[in-house]
Structure 1
Amino acid sequence: KPYEVQDLLVANPHDSTQYRIMGRADDLLVLSTGEKVRPTNLEQKVLEHPDIKDVLAFGAGQVCLGLLIELSANRFDSADIDQPETCAAILSSIQPYLERGNSFTDKHGKVSNEIVVLTRESTRPFIRTDKGSMARKSILAAFGKEIQSCYEKVDIQNALPFPSLYDGGYALLDSIRSLVHGIIGYNNITEFMDLFEAGMDSLQASRLRRAILNGLRVTPDLPILIEDIETDFCFRNSSIEKLYLAVARPVSGSQDENGIHETREEHRIWAMEDMFQKYHDVLRSFERLAAHVHASRLKRRPAAGQKKVVLLTGSTGSLGCFLLACLADDPDISKVICLNRLHTDTTSPRQRQMDLMSKCGAYMSNQAWDKVVLHGADLSRYNFGLDEDHFPELLGATHIIHNAWPVNFNRSLASFAPRSLSWLPVNRASNILTEPLFSKGLKPFYHMENPSRRSWQGVMSNLSDILGERHGKPLPLIPLKKWLGRVRDLGEDHQRNVAYKFYHSWSGTLR
């Protein structure tokens, strides 16, 4: 009679008698964001510290993961781990092991020093079963107060009060901007840029939400007392400008139906229907172009007996690793061309791919690897940033799998809508700009990561490359004021000076 085990097993694709034990079925933690974390590798790496007896991850239902660490007897028997200096010294010694453990975990499952609870084997040991294994539920219940206190302390310790709107809101806007830049890690994010398109992940969104909530909690003399905000607050207000407007309402005391506590289902349904209709109409305008592309692809289908060539993006992700393994193992496929983000480290693209596949448990034979071609690419650049020797290889692809998409179940609908000119050519924000892109003799500019924000500077740089191709070098970029002056001097003849239609809209810049 078969025995049902509680362990998760993965079969070796090359030997059906071998299995890898991935951990206990009850090890899986589901965060409040809906994301799932299996912390087994993280726990094992931290456990390699010579003065740690056991490690237990926690965080089910919380916004981020934390660790309970049981320190070995002897060395820490006389140390008072409740003292800040002692605790800091212990955490400092654990830090290299924690960083290594985090390297085996997705972004939403990484642990910071602030969410670590220490205990000693000699004074308050972990609860264990008769077999000697950790009684996970009992341990988490026993340390429930410490865990909750840990989250609350992290939430409040760095909270800064928000300024009032005495100066028209500029100080509050600067405060929100600083919070965003500090949490995401770089300061080139503009007020209108979507934060998730700029690279913010769900863990950073959770940190930003807590920072805003605690800022409101410690802000004196608020007209409206704020005890909590929605868990998806940053997903629904996914730009600095939207965050500023959402925070300004309770600061000024002018809450409304779109304020910080909005939960109306009717508004969500209306927003979905409105966005659907908007982009349905936009896509309908490309019917003729789509038909032309479809006809061209039919002509490029492989003949009977001819093997397929697959272009794959996102092969370094968990799903991408297994996709690559399946494709390369398919006898009907002769080549798999992988386009992945450029990396600055010295590891070769192939070695990096192999390392990531090994982590995921995806395996390929040497024969399968011979089919794989890896390129570092930037999908927003002309020819994806590939040189003239490598880009033509992509034109032989018979199938394209675009797998490079952010996996984030909490992104709001609004965060997918571009503002101004964010992606081309689907969002025809300016017919004046996009019409030349489809003119005869000019290569159209496509942005494959749709929708993905590009700044005006980035778009103009791409256009400079494309339009300058016939001259053998990029067209020079000049300031708008200088360009408008040239447009004015060229005169109002619309046949000779098609750009004149821009002039009256922007002529105030010349004053």
Structure 2
Amino acid sequence: MPAQSSKFTPLSVDDNVTLDQAYEWHRLHSPEAPAFVYPDGLGGQHYVTWKKQGEGIEKGVALIRATIPELRKENQRNSEPVVIGILANIDHLTHETFLLSHIRLTHQSSGRPILPFALSTRNSAVAIAHLIRAKHVSYLWVTEGPMKTLANEALNHLTPDEVPSVFSFPTFSELFDEQNDFVSTISDEVLAPTALDRPALILHSSGSTAFPKPITLTHAMLMEWAVRIRQGDANFEGETVSCQNAPMFHAMGLFITGWALYSGFIRAVPNPLYLRAPVSPESFLQEMVDSKTTIVYTVPSFVEAWAADPNSIEILKRMRAIYWGGGPLSERAGRYMRELGVNVIMIYGTTELGMVASVRAKPCPQGYEWIRFPTSVSPVYIPDPEDPDTYELAFKLIDTHHPAIINTEIDGVPGYATSDLVEKHPDDPNLVRIKGRKDDQIMLSTGEKTNPGPMEQLISKNPHVKSAVMFGRGRINNGVLIEPVSLDEAERLGVEAFRNLIWPGIEYANEYASTHSRIFKEMVLIALRSKPFTYTGKNTPRRGAVIKEYDDEIEALYKVVSESVQTDIPTPAATGEEGGWSLEDSRDFVHQIIHSILKDVSGMKDEDDIFSYGCDSLQATYIRNTILHGLRQVAPPASVQKLASNFVYQHPTVNALAEIVSRVSRRSMETAYADLEAERTERLQRYIHTYTQEWPRHRPAPNQNDSTKEVILLTGSTGGVGSHILGELVKLPSVTRIYAFNRPTKKSSRQRHLEAFSDRGNDISLLDDEKIIYIEGDTSVQGFNIDPSVYKEIQYSATTIIHNAWRVDFNISLASFEPAIRGVRYMIDLALGSPQLIPPRIIFTSSIGIVKAWSNIESVPEGPLSDLTLINAVGYSESKWVSEQILETASRQTPLKPVIVRVGQLCGGVNGNWNSREWFPSLVRAAQVVGGAPDTEGLASFVPLQVAAKALVELRRSSGIFANLVHPRPVPWGNVIGWISELLGVPIIPYSEWLRRLEASPRTSESLLNNPALHLLDFYRVATPPKGFSGLDKREVFGIAKYDTTKTVTDAPSLSPEHLPQLIEEDVRRWIEYWKTKGVLSN
């Protein structure tokens, strides 16, 4: 045996050894090299060496031999192996070590061999019973607690002859005690040559139906998986890899187990001595920090959660790589992470194939979602007969790659067809990305998969259900679309009653489904009469077409569910001088919420972990939202905002949640606001500084003529005002070319423009003009993610840039707008890189919503606003103000002369079109629901869409840098709300009463869809003008400042009295008629 060393000694890829033999090899040759690291609970780290894990494996072998009598029967050497099931909810280190103990005994030289079967803890009891029966499991290791309960339920589904003997899974302490007198009894037989084609382990497919399929893996297959890490360009030696959600019953866990043998990385895991809640994105991130992780290995849902948190992103930027796989990553999160410099790298593998994608050190330059295959596997692309750009991915059986399942033959060679559909990169056919599933399997963002067919069949047996189509790709949970047998019945009963009618059938299907595949009642959508299902020749729903048709409804449903609360739970009364809730009242409140949402947990104590009683991520969301709903009624807004989004995971018991809830309810508002304001000031200034450094030098080319021909780059040309701007530009004779620039979506640019023009009453024939060039790209990426030659063409020819595209979301933070802010800087770089004598002007659409605290009775000037205390503390408003500052700085430091247009509230266009999700249409809908239209003081300076568009085009010739685009002659709010009252037949009520009624409305799935104003409650709460403001009758409604328009009207004649009359009742009537045609308002 070599001298002990902390150095990792690589194993040769040519050694024909089993997985457990490779671990034993490292016990002998890398004994003091660290294999695992975990936080010690005292601020330090504890390392587990290869030697220590090897001893743990050996102790596990001794325990198995002492427990399983067949292992001691010499005369059974050549008989079939004893199948031993493992159902364990335990830490990664203990789970892996005991599993390796079993694998060692699959090739023992004496006694009957065994075959371990790793069972998913996410299976239903029925699925566990099926797997035990299918593989004739004789013994079952089970951890205490919920898994013991699950196992007992499963055994009830078996006959007495099928029931295995059940034993308690060993704890970490049993395998890793600290006694120093351990003496190995391993004989040379452990490293003796073994037939690698012998079975080593059984895993199973996703368990997405009632019958997950067992998959037997040989020793050769496991080692092929392991050596794959050496077939990419990544060097992991000495790195610390965090792998907290790679369970050992899943192929992802086995990948890590094998890769460690050939790479030399250290695996970072949670402290195995402590009980813990299920891994959450926040707890994973904290463990990464504590263990000094350098590489992350995870599932898409965690990446998406981190992408929404600026603090998480800062931590991830320091990582060498974030490897993700097991399901689709949303395009928004993937692109956003990449734009911010986070190395997100896709990996691809399956239980049937192992890891088959090259493990790269850096993401593909072509995008975060593209993968390449090493030469050790043989991919085949089977053309899709219905789509020439789509292929089914398959793999041939070759000497260096043995699929565990053979289900096809390719050119006379056995192989495995994955049912995954891919497309090839147009410039590199060896790069592919996953498009979906041939067999309609739903890949959740958690890495779990659902085969919808069996569940849909069970649901469709209900006599009231004609067809069922499940959805959920890229989400954390599934939903189902139901087409009723009788639409008349469904409409007569209403959504909630019809859902209750068919719910027993869905509950029956849930009994046979894995935990991750189950459907919540809130996730049931009822088909609309206007969107009937389309069917194939076999009379089955056309899944893809149906889901595409309901894209908007599905998106809205997920948003609604993410915000749903239980409003039937009374909130405690405020007590004491601080006005918050006592600890006891908070405990009662939390107890009621949890027992209402989790159901069937009567035995759970207030000190018990709710996740051990089956609480999942969706239920955790309900608990969080309901607690926040109650806190907002008593706690200072700043205190509620400071509550971490994952507080249910951080405090997973009734007692712990009660403690934090009580504390937040009594937090000092002044202290909270002071902290927030200081942080906010620093944050905003940091963004301005970051994006005003090192301007490109403008270098006009010689012999440039000051041409009268105009070339326009317009972003956001499919939006409300953008489509009208495009129409105005087409009609201008001086404009010879328009680059209509938008982000790519599933629909073509042409189709989106046709829909936008049609919906807003524009002349569709204008889109046939040859001067329009449609472009799809991303302004937040340098070069806009378009062909470099096209970028150069725009840069050389553009005379004006109208940057109108912007994300409209008042619920997200400034950090989420950073890509948009970066896009402003890249627009400046584009303009300054122009060879023209004068850089093209950038017309930037800002917002009057940036100003909140304007206490001056005078109007907001047509100029810069440098006082940060005036700026509205909403991410959207902050992003617009930061962009204003960047452009204004550029105007002082470079030849660029932008026009910053603060756009006010735009109202319905020529046909009354007004986005029903905005605050005013939502307010009008709420007036119908709560039975009253809200009256308050102030003015309404709404500008019709088509007028605003024309004014924006005129402002390209503005004499100044700032403009305020609001109606110069506003009307009293009382006039507008009076017309609303008359046209809808609802009374006028005080704003405070309207808000009270709205707050009292239930926040169920149905009510959130029916009353979208509930999504904007926070906006309406803060909309009331601050006390002490004078001259409210001369200010915009809700106390918003009035804006000076003197210079703007001069530069934009469309706003003059002769072209823009005041709002009248007929305008309001047009809006209401439009909303009625869209189903927003009832007739």
Considering only CA atoms, is the larger Rg found in Structure 1 or Structure 2? Answer: 2
| More RCO (CA 8 Å, sep 6+) | 1
State if a TM-score over 0.5 links the two structures.
Answer: no
Per the normalisation by structure 2, the TM-score is: 0.20
> Scaled by the length of structure 1, what TM-score is found?
0.39
